[in-house]
Structure 1
Amino acid sequence: MKKDISTPEIDDFDYALLNLLQKDGRATNVKIANSLNLSETPCWRRLKRLEEHGIIKGYHANLNRYLLGFDILAFVQVFSERHTDDSLYQFEQAVKEIPEILSCHNITGDADYLLQIVTKNLDTYEKLLRKVIRRLPGVTSIKTSISLREIKDSKELPLTNI
């Protein structure tokens, strides 16, 4: 979600609150308030304001994909044949329904999209590629890069109040 005129001003307390939540999404209002040296009610109001404005989109568990058996992480460049609004919309809607696709980005350069995909192993990746990805609307070709080793995996934004 892009910032617009309805986005509230973010102050030092908000940045500190957001940083705390990025590190511990299960932190209680009491813990956050104590960390920020605020009383609980103003802290709760700030949290609710950030949620209502969509700055906080939700709360999620950060799962270890390896321990759950998802050994393959692939980055897939997708090339499209048609660049009509309808064709691109159909592709984007189809991608949203495939659970193995963690993220999809419309990108610059030669490819049209970059997908981040997880699967259990190379066999399941190959089947997903053959039976699903190559059959998505408008796809003419793909180029896959398999991650050999994950150096950094973070969803934390580099929040600072400059």
Structure 2
Amino acid sequence: MDELDLKIIGILQSDGRASNAKIARAVGVSEGTVRRRLRRLIKEDIVHVVAVPNLEKMGYGTTALIGLETGPGKSDAVAECIADLDEAHYVVVATGPYDVFVWTALESAESLGDFLRTRIGVIEGVQKTQTFVTLSTKKRFTRV
């Protein structure tokens, strides 16, 4: 990774649909150079070019971060089970008071309650959850 790679990534973070030609003009290199760099960044699993939806406009009225405490040695298994759930958009194993964090988006507070009771609460190894409901979103992604 060098400065050129970081510039290419930065442009794609602002506009994931930017053409190689547009990126090349912005960073001052040839289109072929951008194409090769981007191909390598994707192949080496450094970047994924994806759409970042506005969940509120898609009908998801409730988003939340859920911290989970798990039984000893259960963090990875719990996280893997949750990662298989469609409602789980982001799942990480962490250190600190919570072993696993889940970011989710659902239609309503009622749907969130149902998700917690019938999808998360029944997973073997989940001992306790704490839910942080999103009040407003100030930033959807970060720039390098």
TM-score by length of 1: 0.81
CA distance in 2, matches of 1:105, 1:147: 18
CA distance in 1, matches of 2:30, 2:5: 14
Correspondence for 2:135: 148
Structure 2 unaligned spans of 5+: none
Distance 1:89 1:114, change over 3 A: closer
Max radius of gyration: which structure? 1
Cα shift at 1:129:
1.0
SS at match of 2:37: helix
SS at match of 2:53: coil
CA RMSD of aligned residues (A): 1.5
Are residues 1:60 and 2:47 paired? no
Deviation digits for residues 7-50 of structure 1 (CA, Å, limit 9, x no counterpart):
xxx22222211111111111111111111221222221111122
Are residues 1:131 and 2:118 paired? yes
Cα shift at 1:105:
2.0
What letter corresponds to residue 137 of structure 1 in structure 2? E
Conserved? CA contact 2:79–2:93, under 8 Å:
no
Correspondence for 1:47: 38
SS at match of 2:121: helix
Deviation digits for residues 27-82 of structure 1 (CA, Å, limit 9, x no counterpart):
111111111221222221111122222212x221121111111111112111112x
Runs of 4+ that moved beyond 6 A: none
TM-score by length of 2: 0.90
SS at match of 1:135: coil
Cα shift at 1:110:
2.1
Correspondence for 1:6: none
What letter corresponds to residue 74 of structure 1 in structure 2? A
CA distance in 2, matches of 1:46, 1:110: 40
CA distance in 2, matches of 1:36, 1:98: 40
Structure 1 unaligned spans of 5+: 1-9
